[in-house]
Structure 1
Amino acid sequence: MKKVFFAVLLTASLFATAQSAPQDSIPTNPQSQQNAAQRILSSNLSQKGLTVGGYAEAHYNRATGENAKLDVHRVVMLFGYKFNERTQFVTEIEFEHVKEVYIEQAFLQYTLTDNINLRAGLMLVPMGIVNEYHEPTTFNGVERPSMDKSIVPTTWREIGLGVSGRWDEASLRYQAYVFNGFTSDNDGKYLGGSNGFRNGRQKGAESMMNNVNFSGKVDYYGLPGLRLGLSGYFGRTQSEKAVEDIEGSDVGIAMVGLDARYAYKRFSARGQFIHANVTDSEEYNAYYGSDLGSALQGWYLETAYNLLAQDKKQQLIAFARYEDYNTHAATDGGLAENLAYDRDEWTFGLTYKVAPGAAFKADYQFKNNAVDGSQTIKQLNLGFGVWF
């Protein structure tokens, strides 16, 4: 771990004269908002060479009846390189919980025309808002929305190939990829339970593939202050060659997402709906001994208001978010719906953006499930996030 960390620092020092990504303005207008990869790609359009950046967040969480937990949740280093006017490479190297190292993205982009880019490598699956826009200063709340973690699930990335681009005449941004997708058996961890598909993420680590999956998204930005997204993901999970012909060794997944973001002066709002249908879940559960639902569904609505004047460089954003999500929205066969997986949450908090790309955060959550007599879990969250 230490050797990897120092190697990355040494690499960065060798390129001390390389250009850095522009200081993050965190625009409230969702039409002009960029994520880390988009900023890296756009920041070195004028010349060849290396672009560097990063983001990080640290959290304090204290839930009902639990000790407080403190965590340097993630520190991410971003690198982009422009080979020529058409060819760029982007990667994210992520250190999680101090001791875990991941490659979150690593893809090569080749610009075919002004509106068509060919991409290949480890990429984010375009589903919902936060899976693509997960930098800590781009969303309210210390933690990412819970339904994104359980249903989408963030941060979901796989190895694939596809195209992306814009069609400004129609005010559309599009993405279309083929991926390897979830695995049925991730070293003894299975799909299902309260975390839904989360255990199936392969993350580009010696990923297995015997089924091709398709993912696509279209964003519309033709109305002032508004951005609408429609996402889709369709395919089957991956299974080992020795068992791939056995009934229940994999499942089919059809996931659809709708999202919206809106901003007007000091007011902003966002919402998201995700539904996933699972085929052959009964056979999968019988084979692996899991409790995967035949449908997963979740949604949330959030409103926010900047308490400081618009001409101030700093922002103090008060927000409220309601989430409702269920990893047992439906079940097949003899599997009973687990009411503990049917959850809802209220989150109330403040985001204090003290400088472009730097924010302190605080919020309080009320977490419930559908089990009769279950107690509401109350949780205090404090933290900060940076992105540069």
Structure 2
Amino acid sequence: MRIFKTLVFFGFFLANVTLAAAQAPQEQTLSIEERLRRLEAQLKAQQSTDRRFHLGGYGEIHGNFKSGGGDQVDFHRLVFYVGYDFSNWIKFSSEIELEHAFVSDGSDGEVALEQGYVDFLLDPKLNVRIGRFLTPLGIINQHHEPPSFNGVERPVFSKYIIPTTWPSDGIGVFGRFSRGLQYEFYIAGGLDGSGFDPVKGIRGGRITERPSLNDPAIMGRIDVFPLELAGVASDHLLRTGISVYAGGINNGNEGDDPDVSGDISILSADFEYTYSRLDLKGVVAWEKIDDKEGLKQGVADEILGWYLEGAVHWLPNSWKKGRLAKSDSTVFLRYEDIDTQYRMPQGVEEDPKGERSVWTTGIGFYPVPNLVLKMDYQIVDYADSSVNDEYKWNVGIGWQF
């Protein structure tokens, strides 16, 4: 048996040597130039495939210190972006988020698909999007990477009025009619009214797994850049936007609808203005819940919130040298007015924690444009004097790549 195996091995070996020898003359007839051209073509094909993939992400770590205790260090979120270009007109984008560093049953941590959609880029004026996208309301829900907003934590407005991040699953169109006018409109799964709360508003109504299509919603926004629309050359930057949302609230996860009824309408307006070293921005949103039945006791008929913010880029140009050549720093002040009990059903008393104002001031230092070190001080003042005000110090670091 050993002799047989040995003969088979050598027979296989000789066959391969013979085949290689037969092919060798053909390879040797190729010139050096031809071999280099073939190698270059292979490298270009590989590079072309690599350029189809797009990788990125963002994250932030916070230290929170507040009156009454509860101080903590929080690796608040880490988000990974993966994109792929099927062609120059079909593109996939996705974001996967890990919150609070650890996930287990009963914990506050979370792993979630924040976005995952395919764009069909048909024309600058008309394109199609299918999948999970960010609900187009307000400012921060669609632009919430840490270097893009002032303050360690996102505004309170972005927690209880337009909850961020808020994804929707559906289909829609988007485009730009000119440099000064762009739009997006979608039809998607709606909210779960059983998750609405008297103080936290509609935040708990988001469905992040498999949203029901029992009561779908329509949503959209229009952004106008007045100076560009008018063709005025200016070093001022101004954007104004208006966004709308309307849908039913009897939606649940996996089609398990909560057996509530009602409709919600949201109207929001926002602006951003930059001139020289000054940034101004603001947003307002009004929410109305009609014909509601089966919701938690104390959920308002109407919710209202807004904020104004100003920031100054104060870092002298003379400091921007060497390693700090691309550095920047801002100081900011933001005022928010939040009322999740703005209009109550007849005979229902307001929750004293529903109406509050928030002052936040702080500083952000950018050693490079896509990484920021932050610190701020925040005062939460409740309209009802029976509720103690809150005082908070926050520090953090955030990045985007």
TM bucket (normalised to shorter chain) is: 0.7 to 0.9
- Match in the other structure for 2:314: 307
Please state how far the C-alpha of 1:193 moved relative to its aligned partner. Answer: 2.2
Amino acid at match of 1:385: G
Amino acid at match of 1:375: N
Give the TM-score, by structure 2 length.
0.79
- Match in the other structure for 1:226: 238
Q: CA 1:306 to 1:242, structure 2 compared with 1: closer, same or farther past 3 Å?
A: closer
Q: CA 1:89 to 1:243, structure 2 compared with 1: closer, same or farther past 3 Å?
A: closer
Please state how far the C-alpha of 1:48 moved relative to its aligned partner. Answer: 5.3
Amino acid at match of 2:207: Q
Q: State the SS of the aligned residue for 2:148.
A: coil
Distance, in Å, in 1 between the alignment partners of 2:168 and 2:356 is 28
Structure 2 runs not aligned, ≥5 long:
1-44, 103-109, 228-235, 321-325
Which of the pair has more CA radius of gyration? 2
Distance, in Å, in 1 between the alignment partners of 2:241 and 2:369 is 26
Contact 2:161-2:202 at 8 Å conserved across structures? yes
Please state how far the C-alpha of 1:356 moved relative to its aligned partner. Answer: 1.8
- Match in the other structure for 1:25: none
- Match in the other structure for 1:182: 191
1:1-12 superposed matches below 5 A: none
1:1-388 superposed matches below 5 A: 49-99=52-102, 100-168=110-178, 171-185=180-194, 190-203=195-208, 205-223=209-227, 224-239=236-251, 249-281=260-292, 283-285=293-295, 289-309=296-316, 312=320, 313-388=326-401
Contact 1:48-1:83 at 8 Å conserved across structures? no
- Residue deviations 1:315-340 (CA, integer Å, cap 9, x gap): 11000000001111011133212231
Please state how far the C-alpha of 1:381 moved relative to its aligned partner. Answer: 0.3
Please state how far the C-alpha of 1:291 moved relative to its aligned partner. Answer: 2.3
Please state how far the C-alpha of 1:239 moved relative to its aligned partner. Answer: 3.7
Identity over aligned pairs, percent: 34
Q: CA 1:53 to 1:360, structure 2 compared with 1: closer, same or farther past 3 Å?
A: same
Contact 2:211-2:251 at 8 Å conserved across structures? no
- Match in the other structure for 1:11: none
Q: State the SS of the aligned residue for 1:291.
A: coil
Please state how far the C-alpha of 1:85 moved relative to its aligned partner. Answer: 1.4
Contact 1:82-1:88 at 8 Å conserved across structures? yes
Contact 1:239-1:250 at 8 Å conserved across structures? no
Contact 1:110-1:117 at 8 Å conserved across structures? yes
Amino acid at match of 2:159: K
Amino acid at match of 1:230: I
Q: State the SS of the aligned residue for 2:147.
A: coil
Amino acid at match of 1:134: H
Distance, in Å, in 2 between the alignment partners of 1:198 and 1:307 is 36
Q: CA 1:242 to 1:218, structure 2 compared with 1: closer, same or farther past 3 Å?
A: closer
Q: CA 1:243 to 1:121, structure 2 compared with 1: closer, same or farther past 3 Å?
A: closer
Q: State the SS of the aligned residue for 1:280.
A: strand
Q: State the SS of the aligned residue for 2:160.
A: helix
Distance, in Å, in 2 between the alignment partners of 1:273 and 1:58 is 28
Contact 2:212-2:256 at 8 Å conserved across structures? no
Distance, in Å, in 2 between the alignment partners of 1:277 and 1:70 is 37
Greater shift after overlay, 371-380 or 174-183?
371-380
Structure 1 runs not aligned, ≥5 long:
1-16, 20-43
Higher relative contact order (CA 8 A, sep 6+): 1
Distance, in Å, in 2 between the alignment partners of 1:141 and 1:90 is 27
Please state how far the C-alpha of 1:222 moved relative to its aligned partner. Answer: 2.7
Distance, in Å, in 1 between the alignment partners of 2:97 and 2:385 is 40
Give the total of aligned pairs: 334
Q: State the SS of the aligned residue for 2:279.
A: strand
Please state how far the C-alpha of 1:208 moved relative to its aligned partner. Answer: 1.4
Distance, in Å, in 1 between the alignment partners of 2:294 and 2:289 is 10
Please state how far the C-alpha of 1:47 moved relative to its aligned partner. Answer: 8.8
Select the structure that is richer in helix: 2
